[in-house]
Amino acid sequence: MLGLALYGFGLALIVDASIGVPPWDVLALGIAKQLGITYGMASIVVSTLVLIAWIPLRVKPGIGSVLNAICIGLFADLFMPWLPNLEGFWFNLGSFLVGMVAVAFATGLYISSHLGQGPRDGLMLGTQKKLGWKFWKIRGMYEVGVLTIGWLLGGQVGLGTLIFAICIGYLTQASLVFFKLQPGKK
């Protein structure tokens, strides 16, 4: 649960920084804007729909998959009101970067619990297994698709979106090494 709370805190920092968010959060913010709900609630809606998409892919969720779908959005909404109002690009960039590191570290923390993969991870792995395409193609297809839909709905796209896309893989890999979960190595 600590990993999910840290993930929600990291996303709250990223969203609050207002310099752009990761693609799936562009979608959540676009949905939040259109439906008049909080970012966290929209994130739960997106994650729940992604879990439902697992059914035809025959991906089985663990308890961690369900907790991920629900708790990250709840924690993000819980932390948002407590964040300081930062003014100025450099403060917002700093907040964004701290949030991104928190998300990467939290990913390693919740993966190390071995209670189930996150909704998006299962969707991508299930699609890859079903279609037989290379993982990077499937990941790219989903990321570009949700980014585009989210942007059309009014989600927040900006420099942070690009920074996240470039850096999150490296930061998450460092987190996995920290937790001694080096994918692909035995």
Please give the pLDDT value at position 85.
83
**Percent of the residues in the chain that have a pLDDT greater than 90, as a whole number:** 60
Answer yes or no: is 143 within a domain.
yes
Domain ranges, residue 23: 2-178
Q: With respect to residue 15, please indicate whether it lies within any of the assigned structural domains.
A: yes
SS (H, E, C) the chain: CHHHHHHHHHHHHHHHHCCCCCHHHHHHHHHHHHHCCCHHHHHHHHHHHHHHHHHHHCCCCCHHHHHHHHHHHHHHHHHHHHCCCCCCHHHHHHHHHHHHHHHHHHHHHHHCCCCCCCHHHHHHHHHHHHHCCCHHHHHHHHHHHHHHHHHHCCCCCCHHHHHHHHHHHHHHHHHHHHCCCCCCCC
Q: Is the pLDDT of residue 183 over 60?
A: no
How many domains does the chain fold into? 1
Convert the pLDDT of each residue in 95-146 to its tens digit. Answer: 999 999 999 999 888 877 888 888 988 888 888 889 988 877 888 888 899 9
> Is 185 a domain residue?
no
Is 184 a member of any domain?
Answer: no
Q: Is this model's pTM higher than 0.95 or not?
A: no
| Domain membership flag for residue 74 | yes
Per-residue confidence (pLDDT) for residue 14, from 0 to 100: 97
Q: Is residue 80 part of a domain?
A: yes
Has residue 185 got a pLDDT over 70? no
- The mean per-residue pLDDT over the stretch 78-96 comes to 93
Q: What is the mean pLDDT of residues 40-54?
A: 96
User: Does residue 183 fall inside a structural domain?
Assistant: no
Asked if residue 186 is part of any domain, the answer here is no
